Structure 1
Amino acid sequence: MGPSVTDALAAAADAARLAPSVHNTQPWRWVVRGDTLELYAVPQRQLQEQDPDGRLMILSCGAALHHALVGLAAEGWEHRVERPAGEPLAVVHAERHAPADPHAMQRMQLLRVRHTDRRVVSDEPVPPDVRDALAEAARHGGARLHVLNRDQVLQLAVMIEHSGEAQRHDERMRAETDEWVGGDRPEGTGLPDAVIPAELPLTTVAERDFGVTGTLSAGAGHDSAAAYAILYGDGDEPRDWLLAGEALSHLWLSATEHGAAVLPLSSPVELDFTRQALRRMLGELGYAYLVLRLGTADPDHAGPPHTPRLPAEQVIEIEPPSA
């Protein structure tokens, strides 16, 4: 007897717990209802000061949605996805079970090893064919990728410096960051010391200063071999943000497959003036969802540990069948 649809959907929601999210807030909730899996945002885990419109919250939910679909495909289930306007954000319909293909199972393995790495990347640039693969993965997920030229990277550096300065002088933003960053994070969310650099590396484009001293050795290199890109799309509504998260997950799994490291830089999209500057950088041909640093991971050094995750029972609800 094959796996039950309820078990398969619950396993897919469990796989989604590994998805990346802004400050590791994990702002999602799943409901297994018959042969469907429903995705909801959890505003209680939204960054109210840094993300008042919920862009990054819903983008994070989109990454979780794609993770769930990868998990479902690895179990051999064909599926159909609805993305209604409003809540739930998405409804996944499990339709037919068949033996899982090796590619689906490989993507599940990539999902398990994917992680965020704030260390300096190696001095080996991402090869052009890998960049092309990442751009194609983003398109497959429903967004696009614009790789910045040298002048645009310098503009980005100034932009991030200004956004960082603005946020450091905002008492409420600093207090909100303090709630999610630093320490051991025993509650299962946020960024522990072990994934925060002990000191900020001297790079052209500054990494985010969380205001805490972590324990991760960032390395002595520079970001001269890194590429910077904007993940963007045609719209700026919740459905577009959801698709952007799915595209990010597509791209990240492809990067993991090719040995590339991805570091999301969310600070430029958290403030209106920097978000508009990114839009001008795109020639006003789209809306920026996230900035990404792309590099080649150092194969000689193990990456940082995975960030903590909320237990399944806090994010997955299985509705009993009606009598």
Structure 2
Amino acid sequence: MAELTRALADAAAMAGRAPSVHNTQPWRWTVLPDRLELTLDTHRQLAAVDPQGRLAIVSCGAALHHARVALAAEGWEAVIHRLPDPARPDLLAVVLPGEARTPDPAAMRLVQSMWVRHTDRRPLGAEPLSAAAVSVLAEAARAEGVHLHVLDPGQVYDLAAAANRAAAVEAADERAQAELAYWTSRGDGLGVPASAVPAVPPATTVPARDFGRPGTLPVGEGHDRAAVYGVLYGPGDDRADWLRAGEALSAAWLTATVNGVALLPLSAVIEVDVTRSALRRLISGFGWPYLVLRLGIADPEHAGPAVTPRLAPRATVDTSRAQ
């Protein structure tokens, strides 16, 4: 395999470390001699709570950003063509390598963080997060064309009300509950393992998702009073916007990991139409909400969860046409 093709294959494999809703990993990479193709794998889309594929495409956008960063860390400029073929709506992006250049040290640090980035659903520690730290994450998202609106204390209570309503709506939806049970009972590198689910409901102002069964993640006595909540939002609400939202999520999360900030995405309020509309009112209708982020400093008294298992690269990366 030529050097360039190998770099593309390695970038696609590293993209498998990206976050995805319920760890569904709904992406498929095809490695060609001169480019990468990213397609949506609809078999791993959440049919009940994500019928439009919004969260699946956000997840694919996160994988796209991971691949871009991995290429930059190896010294390859990446030219991205998003949604290049209307006749192939599930072809989300084509990645064309540009000129070889000096490996980017900042990208190298982000790649290192991909190995340790994880979802921590425990309450946060009591240490407040500085405004400067939040600003760094907002800038990382803004560089991808997406904004982070930080909620004031009153808006956090509005968010909590919306999260409670979303939980009630989904608890009453048999299809949603069956889907959740399916994605929390797998052991094949997909889904949310028990080790990532709190053993008891954590004390938080904004309720996290109820997975319907206790996990094995120990939870301390802390609360999330020091948490900062924000809404990732952008100007539109179509596939191109969702893809960019995922790229922004990846950029913010990897930056958070490098800077010692715990980031927890909350998607349930996006999955229910009425609560998603409530979120849009919280940002004064300036754009469309894509995800809620909880930001803070992890509780230093307790070890966090391990990195969630992933599929082997051969399950998501097709190299059969690389020669």
TM-score (normalizing by structure 1) = 0.96
Counterpart contact for 1:196–1:216, Cα < 8 Å? yes
The code of the aligned residue for 1:4 comes to E
1:150-200 CA distances to partner (integer Å, 9 max, x unpaired)?
111001111111110111111111000000014xx3211001100000011
Counterpart contact for 2:31–2:322, Cα < 8 Å? no
What is the match of residue 195 of structure 1?
A: 196
- In structure 1, how many angstroms separate the alpha carbons of the residues matched to 2:70 and 2:163? 35
Counterpart contact for 2:78–2:97, Cα < 8 Å? yes
- Which deviates more, 94-103 or 105-114? 94-103
- In structure 1, how many angstroms separate the alpha carbons of the residues matched to 2:128 and 2:161? 22
What is the match of residue 271 of structure 1?
A: 272
1:239 lines up with 2:227 in the alignment: no
- Shift in CA distance, 321/8, structure 1 to aligned 2, threshold 3 Å: closer
The code of the aligned residue for 1:146 comes to H
- In structure 1, how many angstroms separate the alpha carbons of the residues matched to 2:213 and 2:231? 27
- In structure 2, how many angstroms separate the alpha carbons of the residues matched to 1:270 and 1:60? 14
What is the match of residue 284 of structure 2?
A: 283
- In structure 1, how many angstroms separate the alpha carbons of the residues matched to 2:91 and 2:233? 23
Counterpart contact for 1:126–1:226, Cα < 8 Å? yes
Counterpart contact for 2:74–2:104, Cα < 8 Å? no
What is the match of residue 132 of structure 1?
A: 135
Aligned to 2:99, the other structure's residue is in SS state strand
- In structure 1, how many angstroms separate the alpha carbons of the residues matched to 2:302 and 2:177? 32
1:26 lines up with 2:22 in the alignment: no
Report how far residue 286 of structure 1 moved: 0.4
- Among 101, 104, 116, the alignment partner of 1:101 is 104
What is the match of residue 226 of structure 1?
A: 227
**Count of matched residue positions in the alignment of Structure 1 and Structure 2:** 319
Report how far residue 87 of structure 1 moved: 3.3
Q: Percent identity?
A: 52
What is the match of residue 53 of structure 2?
A: 54
TM-score (normalizing by structure 2) = 0.96
What is the match of residue 77 of structure 1?
A: 76
What is the match of residue 43 of structure 1?
A: 42
Report how far residue 135 of structure 1 moved: 0.7
What is the match of residue 307 of structure 2?
A: 306
Report how far residue 298 of structure 1 moved: 2.7
Counterpart contact for 1:142–1:246, Cα < 8 Å? no
Counterpart contact for 2:264–2:295, Cα < 8 Å? yes
What is the match of residue 4 of structure 1?
A: 3
Report how far residue 34 of structure 1 moved: 1.6
Report how far residue 32 of structure 1 moved: 0.7
Aligned to 1:89, the other structure's residue is in SS state strand
1:228-287 CA distances to partner (integer Å, 9 max, x unpaired)?
110000000000000000000000011111111011110000011011111111111100
- Among 152, 162, 172, the alignment partner of 2:175 is 172
Aligned to 2:124, the other structure's residue is in SS state coil
Counterpart contact for 1:62–1:242, Cα < 8 Å? yes
Counterpart contact for 2:109–2:258, Cα < 8 Å? no
- In structure 1, how many angstroms separate the alpha carbons of the residues matched to 2:122 and 2:97? 39
Q: Which stretches in structure 1 are left out of the alignment for 5+ residues?
A: none
Report how far residue 321 of structure 1 moved: 5.5
Aligned to 1:114, the other structure's residue is in SS state coil
Aligned to 1:6, the other structure's residue is in SS state helix
What is the match of residue 15 of structure 1?
A: 14
What is the match of residue 252 of structure 2?
A: 251
Q: Which stretches in structure 2 are left out of the alignment for 5+ residues?
A: none
Counterpart contact for 2:37–2:95, Cα < 8 Å? yes
Counterpart contact for 1:194–1:215, Cα < 8 Å? yes
Report how far residue 23 of structure 1 moved: 0.3
The code of the aligned residue for 2:148 comes to L
- In structure 1, how many angstroms separate the alpha carbons of the residues matched to 2:6 and 2:122? 38
Counterpart contact for 1:141–1:248, Cα < 8 Å? no
- In structure 2, how many angstroms separate the alpha carbons of the residues matched to 1:236 and 1:208? 24
Counterpart contact for 1:27–1:43, Cα < 8 Å? yes
- Which deviates more, 309-318 or 14-23? 309-318
1:196-236 CA distances to partner (integer Å, 9 max, x unpaired)?
00011122111111101100012211111001110000000
- In structure 2, how many angstroms separate the alpha carbons of the residues matched to 1:101 and 1:54? 33
1:19-51 CA distances to partner (integer Å, 9 max, x unpaired)?
000000000000011210000001100000010
1:118 lines up with 2:117 in the alignment: no
Counterpart contact for 2:36–2:96, Cα < 8 Å? yes
